[in-house]
Amino acid sequence: DSGVTQTPKHLITATGQRVTLRCSPRSGDLSVYWYQQSLDQGLQFLIQYYNGEERAKGNILERFSAQQFPDLHSELNLSSLELGDSALYFCASSVVAGSVQFFGPGTRLTVL
Amino acid sequence: AQSVAQPEDQVNVAEGNPLTVKCTYSVSGNPYLFWYVQYPNRGLQFLLKYITGDNLVKGSYGFEAEFNKSQTSFHLKKPSALVSDSALYFCAVRDMQAGGYQKVTFGTGTKLQVIP
């Protein structure tokens, strides 16, 4: 158990819908990262937050947004969902930016 | 810009044989390098890291990695492979960005298949 929790574990929804994925980092970790993993795209970095502030953006679509709250948990919002958004979404946390990341178990999103 | 390459999509090795999973990197400064492992339907787990010092780094589950500055490589190794080592392995590199931000870049992953 990495100490990072993600909810829900599985999510099935329809195209055009909006979903919210939630992540609670390890106690004491200030940095939160979001990744998307699909079969054909590998592990794609989406976005990183540090102590509530956005620090880096990767290949994140405009339909996606995220935030980190004062209690350090983070949410990833995916809207206008498309079939191609079906993937595993991982959250990771680290004490500071660039240190060892601890990954959550992931949320498997299926868009039908 | 920093980058990391894992040239092999898949590596097959017989159980009991030594294994190597390759990684090369490109950074502007001193590299901080990591290896992670992902078992099926699980998140990535940290295996080991190189920051400075001894070029041979020992990590979890009997894995080790050899840092080679001249070849800009950080290959993951294990003397004797187990079937349970079958998983997806990711190399990652950390580098300093403008403004003092530390960015980590992951490789594309290498699937290790250990054959009984």
Q: Which tens digit of pLDDT belongs to each residue from B5-42? A: 999 999 999 999 999 999 999 988 888 999 999 998 88
Interface probe, candidates A24, A101, A102, A108, chain B, greatest B C-beta count within 10 A: A101
CB atoms within 10 A of CB A24: 19
Greater model confidence, B3 or A79: A79
**Residue whose token pair is 């290498």:** B110
Q: Please, which pLDDT band fits residue B100 given cuts at 50, 70 and 90?
A: low
pLDDT at B30: 82
pLDDT at A21: 98
- What's A41's DSSP letter? T
Tell me the count of A-B CB pairs closer than 8 A: 48
- What's B69's DSSP letter? T
Q: Please, which pLDDT band fits residue B98 given cuts at 50, 70 and 90?
A: low
**pLDDT tens, residue by residue, A41-95:** 688 999 999 999 998 888 899 999 999 999 999 999 999 999 999 999 999 999 9
pLDDT at A43: 87
pLDDT for residue B116 is more than 70: yes
Average pLDDT estimate for A93-102: 88
| Percent of chain B scoring above 70 in pLDDT | 97
Cβ B13 vs Cβ A76: under 8 Å = no
B44/A92 touch (CB, cutoff 8 Å), yes or no: yes
CB atoms within 10 A of CB B108: 15
d(CA B92, CA B102): 13
pLDDT at B95: 77
pLDDT for residue A103 is more than 90: yes
d(CA A32, CA A27): 12
Cβ A87 vs Cβ B24: under 8 Å = no
| Mean residue pLDDT across chain B | 92
User: Which among A66, A85, A80 has a CA at the least distance from the CA of A11?
Assistant: A85
A100/B90 touch (CB, cutoff 8 Å), yes or no: no
Q: Please, which pLDDT band fits residue B54 given cuts at 50, 70 and 90?
A: confident
Residue A20 amino acid letter: T
pLDDT at B115: 97
CB atoms within 10 A of CB A71: 9
